Amino acid sequence: MLDAFVRPDVPILVQGATGRSGRSQTAGMVAYGTNIVAGVSRRDDPEAKVPLFRTCKEAVSATGAKASVAFVPPLDVLPAVLDAIEAGLELIVTVAEGVPVHDALRAKAVTREAGMRWVGASTPGLAIPGKMKMGFLPSVSLAPGPLGVMSKSGTLSYEVCYRLVERGYGQTLWVGVGGDAVKGVRFADLVPLFAADPATKGIVIVGEIGGSEEEELAEALIASRCEKPVFALLAGRSALEGVTMGHAGALIQAHVGTIETKTAALRRAGATVSETIKDLIEAVAGTLESKS
């Protein structure tokens, strides 16, 4: 079922393949078993491990790539998205931190119009554990298992999944949607996938203050009549109003995007909302153990 979002063997090109991080992350993804078929860059790189092209379109006609992961600087994300659309790709993951919101808005509008799924603006990526990853979700936190994971924060989700894996609970699919205010794929978009996927026995959400994505997710859970157990951890209870706490999306304004509104909405939708990482791990373990 999750194939509708991303297939394990989808042929992938890397935009920004010759940069410092593009080069090392490409090696990391290939080592993990990801089907990387091409790189796109304005520069040549005699040491490149994959064939290089100037544009996505050239890469697609030569290799049949269907998806892209872009390791380009934040101000180059919008041009990279436009290039990917031009090539007719079906999915793009962008990882750069610090994409301007006005660029993200434009990217959102054009990807929606083109029917291309966009995971970004800034995310550690996604992974089908044991099979592939697009981006750099750490391998120590990845293992095949029964959980559908979606996360705003990279680091907090690494910690949560690392400890869940230690307890024997890996993932069917993990999508980092990122901590930006304006983004492509949102929590709610993933609910129908996880709800319908027979291998996914539970859903883990790593959210945080700001915006209304968790509230929207709660509505989607109700609308999809998802019967699977849903576990959420929400960071930023003690954040300072009016100040950005690391993530652009995590800026609270009075009465909008607070922990209270998010917790209430998710609980109404039947989710278990934990205040600590430990409580979340215990809730997942307790529930899935009793079911198996």
In the complex, which residues of this chain contact other proteins (CB under 8 A)?
A: 74-75, 98-102, 105-106, 108-109, 112, 136-138, 140-141, 151-159, 162, 179, 181-182, 186, 206, 208-209, 211-213, 216, 233, 235-251, 254-255, 275-278
**Partner residues linked to 234 by β-bridges:** 207
Q: Are strands 230-235 and 202-208 parallel, antiparallel or unpaired?
A: parallel
Centre a 10 Å sphere on the Cβ of residue 274 and count the other Cβ atoms it contains: 19
Min separation Cβ 97 and other proteins, Å: 8
Task: Tell me the β-bridge partners of 39.
Answer: 14, 52
What whole-number distance in Å separates Cα of residue 233 and Cα of residue 123? 18
- Judged by CB, which is closer to other proteins: 197, or 208? 208
Q: How far is the CB of 233 from other proteins (least distance, A)?
A: 7
* Residue listed under structure tokens 């796109």: 40
Q: Which is nearer to other proteins, 156 or 195 (CB)?
A: 156
DSSP β-bridge partners for residue 13:
38, 68
- In the complex, least distance from residue 153 CB atom to other proteins, rounded to whole angstroms: 2
**Taking every pair of C-alpha atoms in the chain, what is the biggest distance, in angstroms?**
56
Question: In the annotation, is 255 catalytic?
Answer: no
> Please, are residues 164 and 147 in contact by the beta-carbon 8 Å criterion?
yes
Identify the active-site residue in 56, 247, 280, 284. Answer: 247
- As a whole number of angstroms, the distance between CA 210 and CA 183 comes to 13
Structure tokens at 239: 């954040």
Q: Which is nearer to other proteins, 148 or 249 (CB)?
A: 249
Smallest distance, Å, CB 21 to other proteins? Answer: 9
In whole angstroms, how close is the CB of 80 to other proteins at the nearest point?
16
Q: Toward other proteins, which CB reaches closer, 66 or 186?
A: 186
Whether residue 77 contacts residue 120, with contact meaning beta carbons closer than 8 Å, is answered with yes
Question: Could you tell me the smallest distance in angstroms from the CB atom of residue 214 to other proteins?
Answer: 11
Concatenating the DSSP letter of every residue in 136-158 gives ---GGG--EEEEEEEES-HHHHH
- CB within 8 Å of 138: residues ≥ 6 apart: 158, 162
For residue 63, the SS3 value is: helix
Distance, in Å, from the CA atom of 39 to the CA atom of 26, rounded to the nearest integer, reads 9
Catalytic positions are 247
